[in-house]
């Protein structure tokens, strides 16, 4: 079932259970969607204000992008569940089956796809949040910081779901390439999220 249609309490309860899904990938997608929405809220509180008229067109465009990102991140909760199914089935294949290794390898690559996409979406969200934090309503700047923190956490969480799978791949070239792509995103966007957080924090520092 699509867990995003359930209550927050139900989601958390199922997450804490021994059910195979949702797991880390689904949780990362949800946290990423929440982080994106927090940034988007800053945009919503900026649009229509005379003080920010000069950036309104840019903010409106970013809000539309974040609307799409939020929805796509939420879609990844169920997608992650479905992406794990082939891998779970592959592990159940008898070890003496001559096709087991090939099926397991393919399923492992498939299991990497959704968390990689979650990472990509979180990176796009952070690009938007950086602008919301810099140009959006000062009354809601803390929410931009919160959004950056959430998206960073989601980015890192999703990466772990990539790395646990690439570690078991027989094809080390494929594993190395996936690891390279994931690390590039981590190296660039974790730093960006930290910068946003520090810039937001600077608004609240007292003598």
pLDDT for the residue 20: 81
List, in order of start, the domains of the chain with CATH numbers. Answer: 25-201 (1.20.120.680)
pLDDT higher than threshold 70 for residue 207: no
Q: Per residue in 21-52, pLDDT tens?
A: 899 999 999 999 999 999 999 999 999 999 99
Q: How many CB atoms lie within 10 A of CB 5?
A: 11
Q: Per residue in 174-204, pLDDT tens?
A: 999 999 999 999 999 999 999 999 999 998 8
pTM, two decimal places:
0.94
Please classify residue 137 by burial: count the beta carbons closer than 10 Å to its beta carbon, then call 0-12 exposed, 13-18 middle and 19+ buried: buried
Pair 193, 133: CB distance under 8 Å: no
Q: Per residue in 99-146, pLDDT tens?
A: 999 999 999 999 999 999 999 999 999 999 999 999 999 999 999 999
């Amino acid at each position: 079932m699509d867990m995003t249609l359930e209550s927050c309490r139900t989601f958390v309860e199922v997450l804490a259970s021994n059910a195979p899904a949702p797991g880390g990938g689904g949780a990362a997608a949800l946290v990423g969607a929440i982080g994106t929405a927090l940034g988007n809220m800053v945009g919503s509180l900026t649009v229509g204000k005379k003080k920010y008229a000069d950036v309104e067109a840019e903010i409106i465009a970013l809000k539309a992008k974040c609307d799409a990102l939020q929805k796509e991140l939420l879609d990844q909760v169920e997608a992650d569940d479905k992406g794990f199914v082939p891998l779970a089935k592959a592990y159940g294949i008898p070890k003496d089956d001559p096709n087991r290794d090939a099926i397991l390898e393919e399923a492992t690559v498939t299991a990497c796809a959704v968390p990689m996409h979650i990472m990509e979406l979180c990176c796009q969200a952070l690009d938007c949040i950086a602008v919301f934090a810099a140009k959006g309503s000062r009354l809601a700047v803390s929410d931009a910081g919160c959004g950056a923190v959430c998206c960073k956490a989601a980015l890192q969480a999703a990466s772990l779901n990539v790395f646990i799978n690439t570690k078991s791949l027989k094809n080390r070239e494929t594993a190395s390439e996936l690891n390279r792509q994931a690390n590039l995103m981590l190296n660039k966007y974790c730093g960006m999220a930290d910068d946003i957080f520090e810039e937001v924090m600077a608004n609240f520092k007292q003598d």
